[in-house]
Every structure is written in structure tokens, then in C-alpha cells.
A and B are shown apart, each in its own frame.
Chain A
Amino acid sequence: MMTNYVFKLPKNRIYEFLNSLIAEYTVYAPVEGETSRFERITDACEVQFLPNRTDRSLKSIFFPPEEEFFKWKKEKDGYVVTDSLKPSPKKLIFGVRGCDVRALDILDRYMMGEFSDPYYKERRKNTVIIGMTCDYPRSSCFCTAFGGMIPHHYDLWFTDIGAYYLVEVGSDTGMKLIDSQFQKATEQDIKRKNQRIEKVELEIEKQTKINLCETKHCSQKIKTSVEHPMWKELAEICLACGKCNFICPTCHCFDVIDTTNLDGSEGARMRRWDSCHLYEYAKTSAENFRKERHARVRYRVFDKFVFPVMRYSTYACTGCGRCTDICPAGIDIREILREMIA
């Protein structure tokens, strides 16, 4: 690791730099449509320099909402199965925010840890991450509860310091991307960057007001709140639409579906995102063990702040605030946490 290597790039060189990346990688970057999201770009001018995170996370690049596993067909000598897994190109994602880099780390644990998902792994491998510091937070952001805006792993990290981007190198791959357009950063530049980050993080801190630092202790507190009256209150207003799960960059549940032609001689197996808020989610052949909505509302919070701590010693939340923004019932995850931790 060459974490000590710090450079700067004149802002007017960013397009040249991006186009040089496009020549070598399949590049994804923030694009603003009806919702802002990461999209494949083929020219630097398509990139939008947004002040903070996109509406949608990186998740669907690696783990799309619907995905075919394989097809089968009955031939003379039996069934022929064709895997739908295709080799994935070298990817580079530009403009990722700290919360989303952290979310990928968490998603990796679920999808490439003790259980390895070949479809996810194929897309995820060799992905280069170029991150960027937010200019100011969204009203729903609370990443400071999880360590702030700058994650541990990245290849390059950009921070706007006026006429330049300050560029920190986080890996060998990142170092290889540094070309002659980059200049050595000065003490002054680094100080500027630190001030910038401090200022924004202070702003986030002001709207967050949750201290989750003591992971074990906090998760224990939430764990013992099984009977808290709040779960039933939330169940009254929750529509069980699952949108908070689908939008969450770390939610990874899916359902597996087989479709066939009329006699079953041809068909396909696919997966589709699932959500623990849905009535059908915990329905088994024996019984539905989370029939009550309050149990489902609670389960989701536990699966962010209790179970992952037991399994991986980490929360499965990054404070991105997307679930708060998308909830039609106005349920704010921060309010739940404040109630639990207070």
C-alpha cells in the first residue's frame, strides 16, 4: 500500500483523465436522470459531478434486481444446461462516496465470504474504485456514525480543494493510474483537504446525533429491545413495500424462480431481489414465522445492527440514508436508532 502518496490534479484536466480511463476500462459514473445512479459512460462529458451520493447505490452493477442463472433444454440425450454467467469486463467506478465503498465491503462479506456467489464474484472482481469526498451531506446522511466520509479501501480518492482535486492513492492499481498530469500535493493542499472533510463531517454530525461507536454495546442494546413498543408503532405506518431493502446498498436477499415452457422441456432459473418486509418472505411450507408486520420491521433493523455484528463484528449499515429518503411512510432509520440507543 502506498497510502502516503498524495497528488493533485488540476480540475480542467479531469475530462482528459476520465477519457483515458474509458479507453482502458468499462467506466461507471454518476448520471442524473429521474433518479441519479451509476451508469456506464462512454465519454467523460456524460459524467455528472454531484455534490453527494447518488439516489441509487452501486449494488445493481454487481447484483442486478433480476438475473438469470442458467437455461435448460431437453435434447435427445437428456437435458442440456447453459450457464448464463458471462465474463465481466474490467470495471472502474468513478465518483463513489464513502458510504458506498463501505457498503461494497459489507456486501462482499455476504456474497464472497463464507458463501461465494459466482455471479456476484465475476462482476465484482478487478473493480477499480475512484472515490470522492462529498461537498455537503444530504439531509438523510449519517455516515459519521460509521466512521465518516473516507473509507479504508479505495484505489484513488478525490477531494475538491478549489482549483484542484486532491488525489490520495490507496493501492498499487491506483498508483498506476497516476500519470504526468498529476502534480505532487503540498502541505497546504493536504491541510485544505483535511479542513474540507472536517467541515462536511461536522455538518453531518450535527444532523446525526447518534453514537454507534461501541459496536458490541450498541448492538446488544438493540438486541434487548425485542419488546419495545416502537416496533408496533412503526408497523402501523409501514406499507411493507420493501423499498427500504431494495434501495439499501447492503441488502442482499433474493428469491429463486424457475420458469418453463408448457411441458417443462425448456426453461430458465433466475433470481430476484427479495425483502424481509414482505409477507411472503418468511413463509415456509410449515408456517409463516414473521406474519406480523412489526416482526418484519424489527427484523430488518436487527439484520442491520444485531445479526451482522454477531457474525462479522460489523454493522450492515453505512449511514447512506437511502432507506429514509425512499420510505413512503416517512420512517427514518436514525429515529429508530436514537430511540434504541438513547
Chain B
Amino acid sequence: MISIGIFSLSCCEGCSVQFLNLEGKLLEVLKYYNIENFRLAKELNSLPVDIAFVEGTPTTAEEVKKLLKIRRDSNVLVALGTCAATGGVPGLVNTMSKREAMKVYDSNPPYMPVDPKPIDYYVPVEHKLYGCPFSKDELMELITAVIMNKSFKNRESSVCVECALRENACLLDKGELCMGPVTRAGCRALCPSNGAPCRGCRGPYEDANYKAHIRTLMDMGITREEIIEAYSMFSYEPLKEVIAWLKEQ
């Protein structure tokens, strides 16, 4: 039996829910894995574990400590979902000053936040599962790879590739701002296959050609502000420099 834990830092806990969404497959998984720690699903939780899946990203000093402890008490650490893998949506707060961000609270803010970062900013991470939420197929791939002692690797191509393999009509041709060309594959182009442009929820990938993407979008008449917003939504942290460059254009 391999012991695992699913841990939450600041996020919407959608990835924890996605774990439960494995449904029937979860029962299969439980033949090989023992869930030692999963606050959303069970009452008694313990450490250490063989594999720690961490969703969300620290936004308080407390959470940074929690993350360090999880790292100490696990052999393998998996960044579960985009928040953990790239800073994701929490990273949006870094686009503004803390003082401004704290205005969402009517009264005194509960604490002074730390800047949301990908969790590998604090601790080494063995695997990353991208997506908001992560893809169940990819989680199964990882789980299988661990049991069979095989390697697991993320796709190094874009959502467009998966979109083209499904022979979809391209939404750029309809004038929509699609993030597919700079977003990491692995969701089988879920959104464009259902008629909605990709929002980039899986974050950027190594070979992404941002300037080419931006040029294409601008040629289509999409404004700089719209592109900045789209680039910031899930990927402000990894794309900070691109966004800064774009602001100067």
C-alpha cells in the first residue's frame, strides 16, 4: 500500500473535489493507495505519507510552515492543479498593491498576505498536475506510473495540438481570444471542443511563443488590455515578464 495525502492551501478546493470526482476509478485506486490524510473527505488525518498532493498555494506565513511540514513528512510531493503548479488564480493579487488588494475586506483584513507563488518557490516538487481543476486522466496517468514504476511527464505542446487532433474549427477564425496556442496540452482541448475559447487554465508550456500569439491576437483587433487580462487570469506569476513587456507595447 502506498500512503497518500491530499492537502489544501489557499484555493477554492476544486482540486480536492476533482479528486473525489474520480468516482468509480477512486475505488480502483484505493486497492493500491491508502488515503492517510484528506481533510475534505475524512475525519482522522495523519502524517507522514508516501505521496503528498498539495492543492492551492500559501498566502499566509502559517501556510508556508504547513507546506514545509508536508514536504518534510512526504517522499513525493505533487503540485495538484494550477494554483500549486504556477501560482494560478491566487497570483492575480500580485498584479496590485497589497493595500489595494486588502480593500475587498470591509473592515480590517484578517492577516497580511504573502505573495502567492507556485509551491516550488518554497519546496522541491516532484510532479505537477496542471489545470483548474487538474485533469483526471492525467492524475490516473501519474497514479499508474507510480505503481508501475514508470516515469510521468507533462505535455510540452499546446492545447491547439489537442484541439487540431479533434478536428475542431479554430475559434481564432471567429475572432475569439483563445489562449490555446500558449497553454499546456493535457485537457484534450476541453473548452474549444465545447465551443468556448481556452482561458489558459493549465498555464503556459516551455515552447510557447508569446510574442507570436500576441501578434496574432492584435492582428485580429483584440486590444492590449484584453490580452493582459487573459494572460493574467491563470498565469500572472509565470508570465509576469511577458505581461510587463506587453504593457510597454
Q: A293 vs B182: C-alpha distance in the bound complex, in angstroms? A: 14
Give the residue name and chain of the A residue nearest to B181 (CB): A239
Q: List residues of B (172-231) whose CB comes within 8 Å of A's CBs.
A: 172, 180-182, 206-207, 209, 211-213, 215-216, 219
In the bound complex, what is the Cα–Cα distance between A242 and B209 (angstroms)? 13
Given A241-B161, A328-B172, A328-B181, A262 and B147 contact (CB-CB distance below 8 Å): yes
- Total residue contacts A-B, CB cutoff 8 A: 89
A238 within 8 A of B: yes
Given contacts A262-B32, A278-B161, contact A60 B144 (CB under 8 A): no
Are the C-beta atoms of A238 and B209 separated by less than 8 Å?
A: yes
Q: Does B20 contact A (CB under 8 A)?
A: no
Q: Closest Cβ of chain A: how far from B95's Cβ, in Å?
A: 25
Are B219's CB and A273's CB within 8 A? no
* A66 proximal to B (CB < 8 A): yes
Among B43-51, B152-160, B241-249, which stretch is in contact with chain A?
B152-160
Given contacts A237-B215, A260-B144, A262-B31, contact A272 B165 (CB under 8 A): yes
Least CB distance, A271 to chain B, in whole angstroms: 11
Q: How far is the CB of B29 from chain A (nearest CB, A)?
A: 7
How many chain B residues sit at the interface, stated as a range, is 20 to 34
A330 to B147, CA, bound (A): 45
A53 to chain B minimum Cβ distance, whole angstroms, is: 16
Cross-interface CB contact of B160 among A35, A241, A330, cutoff 8 Å: A241
Decide: A35 and B167 in contact? CB cutoff 8 A: yes
| Alpha-carbon gap, A302 to B10, bound state (A) | 50
Q: Is B28 engaged at the interface, CB distance under 8 Å to the other chain?
A: yes
One of A239, A247, A260, A293 near B213 (C-beta < 8 A): A239
With A262-B32, A279-B157 already in contact, the answer to whether A239 and B167 are too (CB < 8 A) is no
Residue A263 lies at the interface, judged by CB distance under 8 Å to chain B: yes
Q: Is the beta-carbon distance between A65 and B166 smaller than 8 angstroms?
A: yes
A85 within 8 A of B: no
How far is A46 from B164 in the complex, measured between Cα atoms in Å?
25
Interface residues of A in 177-198 (CB under 8 A from B): none
**B219–A330 contact, CB under 8 A?**
yes
A329 partner, pick from B164, B167, B212, beta carbons under 8 A: B212
User: Could you say which of A239, A247, A279 contacts B156, with CB atoms under 8 Å apart?
Assistant: A279
Bound-state Cα–Cα, A243 to B192, Å = 15
Q: Is A240 an interface residue (CB 8 A)?
A: yes
Per-residue CB contact flags for chain A residues 316-342 toward chain B (1 = under 8 Å, else 0) read 000000000010111000000000000
Q: Which of B147, B165, B209, B213 contacts A273 (CB 8 A)?
A: B165
Partner of A241, one of B28, B155, B166, B181: B181
- For window 27-73 of B, CB contacts with A under 8 Å fall at 28-29, 31-32
16 contacts between A and B (CB under 8 A): A60-B167, A237-B209, A239-B181, A240-B157, A241-B158, A241-B160, A241-B161, A242-B161, A243-B160, A260-B144, A262-B32, A263-B148, A278-B156, A293-B209, A326-B170, A330-B216
Question: What 4 A-B pairs have minimum CB-CB distances, sorted nearest first?
Answer: A279-B207, A241-B160, A34-B169, A239-B181
Known: A56-B167, A240-B158. 9 other contacts (CB 8 A): A35-B167, A236-B209, A246-B164, A264-B148, A278-B161, A280-B155, A293-B209, A328-B172, A329-B212
Give residues in B with beta carbon < 8 Å to A. Answer: 28-29, 31-32, 143-144, 147-148, 155-158, 160-161, 164-167, 169-170, 172, 180-182, 206-207, 209, 211-213, 215-216, 219
